Amino acid sequence: MDTRQDSHVRAGDGAQRIVEALLRPPPLRDEEWEGAFTGTAGSTEGFAFHMRGRLLLGSGLVSGTGRAVDLRTPHDGVSLDGSEEAGAVRVDLWFDEPGVAARPLACDGTLSGDGTRIEGAWTVDCLNPGECDCGGGRGTFALRRVTA
Ligand SMILES: [Zn+2]
């Protein structure tokens, strides 16, 4: 047996394993989250709702669907779509409700180190910029992972 050749093959296998580990994305986490969105200024001052739904976190992406449970509309679905990098979360929250579906809440937040909370602030553009000069609105949000 050519031991030199054998060790070369093993080193190659090790390098291949490292490359595969680096290329393999971290596992996606599909979990239930809930929390509050609170308008604090502009057109959304006084506007608030609670959301509950599922968020898919991983590979730098954030996505999910849920319900704005106290929005008092039959179209209370929401969807989220964005990114996460080093704990910085940037996600758009879209409403199904036709009256407010045209603009997302653009959310900027921070994912806690243990991955169980996302907190931050959001802005939303004016829904009728042609006939309104409200300048849009802004607020805060705090989401937490629901542990089973
Ligand atoms: Zn406006």
pLDDT digits (tens, 9 = 90+) for 6-62: 555 566 778 888 777 777 666 678 899 999 999 999 999 999 999 999 999 988 999
- pLDDT tens string 45-59: 999 999 999 999 988
Tell me whether residue 16 is in a domain: no
pTM: 0.80
CA of 131 to the centre of ligand 1 (A): 7
Task: Read off the CATH number of the domain in which 95 is found.
Answer: 2.40.128.120
Tell me whether residue 10 is in a domain: no
> Quick count: other Cβ atoms within 10 Å of Cβ 53?
20
Tell me whether residue 40 is in a domain: yes
- pLDDT tens string 98-139: 989 999 999 999 999 999 999 999 999 999 989 999 999 999
CA of 69 to the centre of ligand 1 (A): 24
